[in-house]
Amino acid sequence: MNNITIHRVDGKNLSEIVPGIVKVFRDDEVVPWHKYDECLAWVTKRAERGFYITLAYDGDTIVGYSEWILTYDNSKKILYLGIMQVDCDLRSRGIGKIMLDDGEEYAKSIGAAVLRTIPEDDRSQNFYYKYGFTETDLIYYCVCSTTESADTPKSHKSDKLPTLEIADTHELVFGLCQSSGRHMYEIANHNPAIGEFGAVTAYIQSGYLQFRYREGSETALALYWSNEETTADTVSAILTQGYANGFKEVEFYFKTKYKGLFAEHDVILESTEIERKVNVMNSLHHTKINLETDKDYVLECHCRVNYECDTPWARKIPYEEYRANWLAWFGQQEGFLSALRDSMNDERTIAEIIKSESGETVGYLWVPFHGNDSNFIFADVQDIYVEEAYRRIGIAAYLMDYAEQSAKANGARVIRSGTGCENIGSQKLHEKLEYYQYRMEYEKVLQEGTHNG
């Protein structure tokens, strides 16, 4: 075999490449890519809708196809792999790994911290496990009969249409044929198979509900996006809406945490969600803080760090209220900025904004140094903040190690770091990194009132 090269499908010259894609899918008659007209329609639509579609070439011959889409999970960016196919005559030759590695590079370029997919079968699951994917959840399937209710609104259809923004900012609770709210939104609302499948938007107070169905069928798939608590009443409401829209059965696909809602129904284990963390650390960029341009961001980060590490009684109020009080206290702002500014006169100080390869802000780090006597110099991790979208992938540990290596290089004998008594995640991180507790502080509330530390 020649060297495998990866090329992105940009929507141009599709009539020339689609025959090669069809050939790759010739042994798979489940998906629409094995027929020219259907393949052309789907690839055209997916390219228009921003999917990252790639072809693997061996010379001039197409030997692989992959399709990725950016999705969000609790604000965390995830690059979701909807499908990857390698020519059946060329498997086990490393082509799939090359396509996965390309996907990871693309993930880095857009700031996605995780690759996610649902393997089609045991063979593909073993392939993904071989290259670092691990199980993160299980997807279950249940079909339920719809129910009539006197409470069902007469106007059962709704103009409460889920949008792309809704799909990106709300959890897809039900409808996880693919474990991506964005992917399923595209299937329901931008499906090129006109006349074969349809989707109707139905009213539900707690979120956004659609039914996707095959024309002429009395069974529909429930697609339900919501950030509110999902209960048995939610399921009942969906079933009554299914009845009102003319369906006899509703299909549900859901994650493990919702399995209890279907205790009275037959539940089938459908598939496994797997993920691989993207190694973004090597592509992070550190930029020294500029207090003229970065002041607002640094203040926001410092305030959030304060809130997470403050006393339990100070954290009784919501963060937005805490923030308003903190920012209104000018002396506190100026005290922090003055300390930061003074520390930056010491060339040893770490005062940096961290950004991804794509230019997105990942977080902020402030570590001043104390002492000039070579007998005792110590580094003090004052602030470490990681944006929500980049958490739980090792960046906080990376930044702590970065601070430690800098401390060693500057002759520090000790590196210190503090956290709050309720910040369990931070405490566990410190313990994992072999920090030990060397001092304890106690506080007693004498007067109730507003406090920001």
Q: Are strands 4-8 and 114-117 parallel, antiparallel or unpaired?
A: unpaired
Domains with residue ranges and CATH for the chain = 4-117 (3.40.630.30), 139-276 (3.40.630), 281-432 (3.40.630.30)
The per-residue pLDDT for range 136-172, each reduced to its tens digit, is 999 999 999 999 876 655 545 556 788 999 999 999 9
Q: 143 forms bridges with which residues in the sheet?
A: 251
Helix (H) or strand (E) holding 68: strand 61-73
Task: Please provide the DSSP assignment of 140-207 as one string.
Answer: EEEEEE----TTS-S--B-S----HHHHHHSEEEE-TTSS-HHHHHHHHHS-S-BTTEEEEEE--TTS
Q: How far apart are CA 395 and CA 162, in angstroms?
A: 33
Looking at residue 155, its pLDDT comes to: 46
The per-residue pLDDT for range 93-144, each reduced to its tens digit, is 999 999 999 999 999 888 888 999 999 999 999 999 999 999 999 999 999 9
Q: What is the pLDDT confidence band of residue 447, given thresholds at 50, 70 and 90?
A: confident
Total-model pTM: 0.78
Looking at residue 150, its pLDDT comes to: 64
Cα angle for residues 416, 418, 423 (degrees, 5° grid): 145
Contact 76, 181 (CB under 8 A): no
Rounded to 10 degrees, the C-alpha dihedral 413/402/291/75 comes to -140
Q: What is the pLDDT confidence band of residue 451, given thresholds at 50, 70 and 90?
A: low
